[in-house]
Amino acid sequence: MNITENTEAQRLNFWERLYLPEIVRGLSITLRQLFKPKFTRQYPEERWEPLGSYRGRPVLVLDEDGERCVACGLCSRVCPALAIEVQAGETEREKERYPVKFEINMLRCIYCGFCEEVCPEEAIVMSKDYELVFEDRESAILDKEQLLVPIAQLQDRLEFLRRYK
């Protein structure tokens, strides 16, 4: 059925139906737009520094006494994407357990932060690292050496967790 009453064209007044004044109005808008400040970030030169609330690459905390992780395996258990693999080992030190193997598959990780949330030792946290590029599947699986990050670099996130977790 064709609509013939109260159509868009009928609602316009004479000057609007002439079309040209309206085009000029539109042109003036786009002309003003031309000189407005731009918001584009020139990425490789200008980098974005995320806040503490940002969930980037999950990392293992390395404090003065060494790694915090006690290889309880909760993170591995809670991980919805099954990205974390932990194998526990024992030592003679006071803190008996440590991870012999700790791997995160970054192709599986969904950055949900559950591992961080469930960790009783605050040993795994989400970092600010968002530039994650891998050349093949093997190198996307990060081992313990690649995951350990000195605690000094993670202050923002730890602060955030203490306040909001």
Partner 1 sequence: METLAAQLLIAAIKAFIVVNSVLLAAAGLVYVERRVAAWIQDRIGPNRVGPFGLLQPFADVIKLYFKEDLVPALADRTFHRLAPLISIAIALSLYAVIPLGDYILVAGERVYLSVAPHINVGLLYVLAMTSVGVYGIVLAGWSSNNKYSLLGGLRSSAQMISYELTLGLSVVGVVMVAGSLDLYEIVYRQQHVWNIVYQPLGFLLFLVASFAETNRAPFDLPEAEPELVGGYHTEYSGMKFGLFFLAEYSNIVVASLMMTVLFLGGWHVPFVPQLPQWLGLQEGSLGMALFQSAVTLSKTAVLLFLFIWVRWTVPRFRYDQLMRLGWRVLLPLALLNILATGLVLLVV
Give the interface size with partner 1 as a residue count (CB under 8 A).
Answer: 15
Residue placing its CB nearer to partner 1 in the complex, 2 or 91: 2
Picking from 143, 124, 102, the residue whose alpha carbon sits closest to that of residue 56 is: 124
CB 61 within 8 Å of CB 123: yes
Draw the binding track, 7-26, toward partner 1 (x: CB under 8 A; -: no contact).
Answer: -------------x--x--x
How are beta strands 84-90 and 97-105 bridged, if at all? antiparallel
Select the span of 29-37, 62-70, 119-127, 140-148 touching partner 1 (CB under 8 A): 29-37
> Which residues, numbered 64-83, are part of the site for partner 1 (CB under 8 A)?
none
Q: Least distance (Å) from partner 1 to the CB of residue 132?
A: 23
Q: Contact between 34 and partner 1 (CB under 8 A)?
A: yes
CA distance 20 to 58: 58
d(CA 86, CA 126) in angstroms, rounded, equals: 17
Q: Which is nearer to partner 1, 42 or 91 (CB)?
A: 42
35-54 binders of partner 1 (CB under 8 A): 35-36, 38-40, 42
Decide if residue 3 touches partner 1 (CB under 8 A): no
Rounded Cα gap, residues 97 and 73, in angstroms: 11
Residue 99, C-beta contacts closer than 8 angstroms, at least 6 positions apart: 67, 69, 71, 86, 87, 88, 89, 144
Structure tokens at 159: 């602060």
Q: Binding to partner 1 by residue 2, rule CB under 8 A?
A: no
List residues binding partner 1 (CB under 8 A). Answer: 20, 23, 26-27, 29-31, 33-36, 38-40, 42
